[in-house]
Amino acid sequence: MFIPLIGSLLCSAALVTVEPSYAVKVERDVVYGTVQGYWTEAPEGFWRLNPYLFKRQDSRHTLDLTMDIYLPADDDSSDVRPLLLMMHGGAFLFGSKTETGQVEWCRYFASLGYVAVSIDYRLGFPLDKTDALRAENEAGEDARMALRYLLTREDLRIDSARLYLAGTSAGAAMALAVAYGTDEFQGQVRAVANLWGFVHDLDILENACVPILSFQSEKDPVVPYREGRPIMTAYTYGTWAIHQKATALGIPSQHHPCPEKGHRLHLDKAGALTPMFYEIRDAMASFFAKY
């Protein structure tokens, strides 16, 4: 049974840091699937220099999808572990599993005893709304493929009933789509960290009852905080609208509306971690521990 609804909180809410218990080891570039697509990682702003972005869809080719798996290195017990699946943002056009925030979140949660995984997934599409939605759907299927692969790895000792999903921006939209999709992971996802993400249809929240932790700037210049239509995509609902709908449905929802202006709250303009990264990290650890 879920605990009573948690109301909105400010970004400055006091949180207790959970101290690491384990050293961390990493399995890098593990292939979890093969698909047809454009590319799987790219630096921010790369499309300004790459005209092939605008080519027709027949330029898609075979891609290996890879993940980095962070593990507690000195965990000698036979106990099963919770899984945290992290998905980077980047408008389904750019980004990488090795982005600083993804790496540091994964290292921290692995040090707590989680199997923490950062994935690359299919990116790229001709600049058209229909193709943008197709890219979103394919990225969501890649996240499901990653979960299927991880649950076949008996050596990782993942508890299939304790799956946690987290993402930034486009990655958060993927996390919400998987948690609230009508697929095989219903009942297995314990909670979602929705970091400045979105949904296109609030009614998907009626499909499940998965607790949601959300952070977003009230002045986000990229994803609408309430609702609206960003460039190149369908009408979207941001964290405020998601929280309101979750509240109405009785879904546990902890909402952090942040007064800081910006989209990527965890990184500064140079790509270095901000103090907000640590606040989000600690909120995630506390929130996941409740479920």
Which tens digit of pLDDT belongs to each residue from 65-97? 999 999 999 888 889 999 999 999 998 988 999
Domain ranges for the chain? 24-289
Q: Phi and psi dihedrals of 54, rounded to 5?
A: -95, 5
pLDDT at 74: 84
User: How many Å apart are CA 101 and CA 84, to the nearest integer?
Assistant: 14
Give the pLDDT of residue 25: 97
Which of 143, 147, 205, 212 shows the shortest CA–CA distance to 180? 205
The pTM of the full predicted model, rounded to 2 decimals, is 0.90
d(CA 126, CA 58): 11
Residue 98: the pLDDT is 95
pLDDT for the residue numbered 150: 98
Residue with structure tokens 């509306």?
257
The structure tokens listed for 205 are 């929240």
pLDDT value at residue 232 = 62
Q: 27 Cβ partners below 8 Å, 6+ apart? A: 68, 69, 71
Question: What whole-number distance in Å separates Cα of residue 98 and Cα of residue 118?
Answer: 8
Contact 115, 158 (CB under 8 A): yes
Q: What confidence score (pLDDT) does residue 53 get? A: 53
* pLDDT computed for residue 46 by the predictor: 55
Give the pLDDT of residue 5: 32
pLDDT < 70: residue spans in the chain: 1-18, 43-58, 127-129, 231-233
| Helix 275-289 / helix 100-111 crossing angle, nearest 10 deg | 40
Report the alpha-carbon distance of residue 128 to residue 131 in Å, rounded. Answer: 5
3-class secondary structure per residue, 231-251: CCCCCEECHHHHHHHHHHHCC
Distance CA 45, CA 47 (A): 6
CB-CB neighbours of 49 under 10 Å: 8
Contacts of 41 (CB under 8 A, 6+ apart): 94, 95, 96, 97, 98, 120, 123
Helix/strand/coil percent split, the chain, to 5: 30, 25, 40
Q: What's the fold here for domain 24-289?
A: Rossmann fold (3.40.50)
Buried b (16+ CB within 10 A) or exposed e, 256-288: bbbeeebbbbbbeeeeeebebbebbbbbbbbbb
Count the alpha carbons within 13 Å of 107 in the hemisphere toward its beta carbon: 10
